[in-house]
Structure 1
Amino acid sequence: MPLPAELVRDFVNTFDVEAQTDELSSPADLALWLRARDLISPRDRATDDDLSTAHALREGLRAALRREAAQLPALPLYVQVREGEVPELVPAGGGVRGGLAAIASAAVGAAWDRLKVCAEGTCQWAFIDSSKNRSRSWCSMRVCGNRTKTRAYRARKRGSRPLQGSNTDTV
């Protein structure tokens, strides 16, 4: 299983906001995705209800990454307390709901100071900020950062030009 932050990032990125494509468009797709990450067994199958829960979890996590209040769906989790260790949330069962619960549990253990969503509104791609001071705003400076900065530059240039057809000379 991937590290908690990577699992959350990858799960959130199953929906591409810009392209409007969903990697989890059917219960079978959800089961394949979870199986590929060893979150469910080969015999587990997803239902339409599981898919709805997965979509709600994904968008709740995306909202949380935007630092907005987020409501996550109810999943089978319990607090495990071991002597001398920090309590942790763990899935209370197996199957697809248990796999989704493992993702929710990973969100609790993820490095939230490093896990972010791209500030470019049309993108919303989740990424892990590996910058030294944790100040990265975009998934890619080359694409989204450039797009945002170019848009801001053009808006400033439009605001500084006199209106076309106006006479700025005074008589």
Structure 2
Amino acid sequence: MTTLHEEQSKAAPGSLAVVQALVNTQYGQGRRAHTELTSPDQLHAWLVEHCLLADGAPVTQGDFRRVLQLREALRSLLRANHETAMLASHIDVFNRLASDAPLTVLLHADGLPTLEPDIAGVDGALAHLVGMVFTSMTDGTWGRLKVCRNERCQKAFYDTSKNRSGAWCSMAGCGSRLKASAYRHRRTAHTEE
């Protein structure tokens, strides 16, 4: 039997796992902070590892900033999967980056179409990521990719619960800590009455 923690820590299906991996290049605060991308060189290695960029392609400081902007715009969109409001500024960032990311439809031998970048380099990588987001929004998987409701965490997780009610990246970690904190707060408030 799979525990809730194991279910919520699963990777998103298909190419949506790459979007999840991008969002998870930074999450948490303090001792629990995780940061993978701190330079254009690290971004280059990450994009090559995820088959989004040719090994010899350059990555500039401007490319680095744009990818980090996309990452945080995606995090905001994922927060909305918990029925919270999207920040208009993040929608604007996503739309601006998407407008510079030309995509084309490619029909495969199996008869299934995919959205593919119509440009190379980092612009192509951004286009590919935008295409992944669009595809997951249309196939119904997007709504299950969420960020942890623990504001000090914000790690992306794929919610596999039947009723789509997952709220934390880990019930054993963030969920347990927040529930214990809420219990202590209620208990303190009750004893002060």
TM-score by length of 2: 0.75
**Alpha-carbon displacement from aligned partner over 1:53-108 (angstroms, at most 9, x marks no partner):** 001000000000001143214232235386xx898643220112211221121111
Moved more, 62-71 or 45-54: 62-71
- Counterpart of 2:126, as a letter, is L
Q: Which of residues 31, 55, 61 is equivalent to 1:42? A: 55
Corresponding residue number in structure 2 for 1:128: 158
Corresponding residue number in structure 1 for 2:77: 64
Tell me, in whole angstroms, the C-alpha distance in 2 between the residues paired with 1:81 and 1:103. 16
Q: Which of residues 124, 128, 142 is equivalent to 1:112? A: 142
Which of the pair has the greater relative contact order for Cα pairs under 8 Å at 6+ separation? Answer: 2
Corresponding residue number in structure 2 for 1:12: 23
**When the two structures are aligned, how many residues end up with a matched partner?**
160
Moved more, 139-148 or 36-45: 36-45
Corresponding residue number in structure 1 for 2:187: 157
TM-score by length of 1: 0.84
Percent of residue pairs identical: 36
Structure 1: state its 5+ residue gaps: 164-171
Corresponding residue number in structure 2 for 1:168: none
Corresponding residue number in structure 2 for 1:166: none
Structure 2: state its 5+ residue gaps: 1-12, 81-85
Shift of residue 31 of structure 1?
0.7
Tell me, in whole angstroms, the C-alpha distance in 2 between the residues paired with 1:78 and 1:5. 17
Over the aligned positions, Cα root-mean-square deviation in angstroms equals 2.1
Tell me, in whole angstroms, the C-alpha distance in 2 between the residues paired with 1:49 and 1:56. 11
Corresponding residue number in structure 2 for 1:169: none
